């Protein structure tokens, strides 16, 4: 499924500058963004396309970009009321279910009491 994108070269350049300030490689930024958006990294090439100015239209995805790079959501056109609505859409992973499914609580060989 193709995601809707908008084009904004100046904003793409800003993403690149902020990534470089963080001293992140494009692959690192792609990993962080992808994990936040869908639980899997996106490709380095896909992230670099955003830096070229092909940005997601989704307020949720734009908010994730703003948060990971320390930018104001207003830079991405997300107003105060939209931020609150978008934050509601960002539901964190239930760590207890994830820990159970991955068995992170009991390392192999450890006996439970």
- What structural domains and CATH numbers belong to the chain? 5-102 (1.10.260)
| DSSP label at residue 76 | G
> Does residue 112 have a pLDDT over 80?
no
pLDDT (mean) for 100-108: 44
Separation of alpha carbons 100 and 49, rounded Å? 37
The per-residue pLDDT for 7 is 84
- pLDDT digit string, tens, across residues 6-65: 889 999 999 999 999 999 999 999 999 999 998 999 999 999 999 999 999 998 899 999
pTM for the full predicted model:
0.68
> Does residue 3 have a pLDDT over 50?
yes
> Would you say 14 and 75 are in contact if contact means Cβ atoms under 8 Å apart?
yes
- pLDDT digit string, tens, across residues 70-93: 998 888 888 776 666 666 655 554
Strand partners for 55: 6
Q: What is the DSSP annotation of 8-56?
A: -HHHHHHHHHHHHHTT--HHHHHHHHHHHHHSSPPPHHHHHHHHTTEEE
Separation of alpha carbons 27 and 10, rounded Å? 21
């Amino acid at each position: 499924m193709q995601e809707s994108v908008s084009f904004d070269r100046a904003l793409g350049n800003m993403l690149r500058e902020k990534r470089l300030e963080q001293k992140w490689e494009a692959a690192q930024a792609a990993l962080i963004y992808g994990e936040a958006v869908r639980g899997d990294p996106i490709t380095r090439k896909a992230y670099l396309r955003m830096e070229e100015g092909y940005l997601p239209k989704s307020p949720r995805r734009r908010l994730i970009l703003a948060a990971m790079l320390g930018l104001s959501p207003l830079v991405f056109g997300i107003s105060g009321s939209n931020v609150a609505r978008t934050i509601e859409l960002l539901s964190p992973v239930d760590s207890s279910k994830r820990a159970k499914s991955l068995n992170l609580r009991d390392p192999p060989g450890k006996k439970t009491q």
